[in-house]
Amino acid sequence: MALFLVTSVCDERVSATRFRVVEVESRLAVANDMLADPVKWEWALRPTELWWDLTYYPYKYGQPRGWTPEDLLGRIDRTWVDGDSRYQLRIHEIETVLDLGSW
């Protein structure tokens, strides 16, 4: 298992409510979990265009988008900041954890 930092940020700052560290196998596993339960990831998805695609689209049309985890990762990597109205979502693998005593 690896650690991943999931962030959802606007141009003003990174806030304590807009990031999580998760322990999973891969970025793909994070994306798969987002597809399986977007409401659990609302804190990250709602301020992006992905929220509509993952929640309102299925409600309105009676079927999900049909995205694969790979599709969602591609869309996540294309999110961008636009003031405080659109957030950038990213999933970064944490490759090194530093011990402050030896740093």
Helices 27-36 and 69-77 cross at an angle (nearest 10°) of 100
pLDDT of 12 reads 73
pLDDT of 85 reads 77
Measured in degrees and rounded to the nearest 5, phi and psi for residue 8 equal -135, 105
pLDDT of 61 reads 80
**β-strands 19-24, 2-9 pairing:** antiparallel
**pLDDT tens, 27-85?**
999 999 999 999 999 999 999 989 988 988 777 788 778 899 999 999 999 999 987 67
Q: What is the pTM of this model?
A: 0.87
Pure H helices in the chain:
27-36, 42-45, 50-51, 57-61, 69-77
The Cα 83–Cα 58 span in angstroms is 28
Indicate the SS3 state at residue 58.
helix
Interval 85-97 mean pLDDT: 93
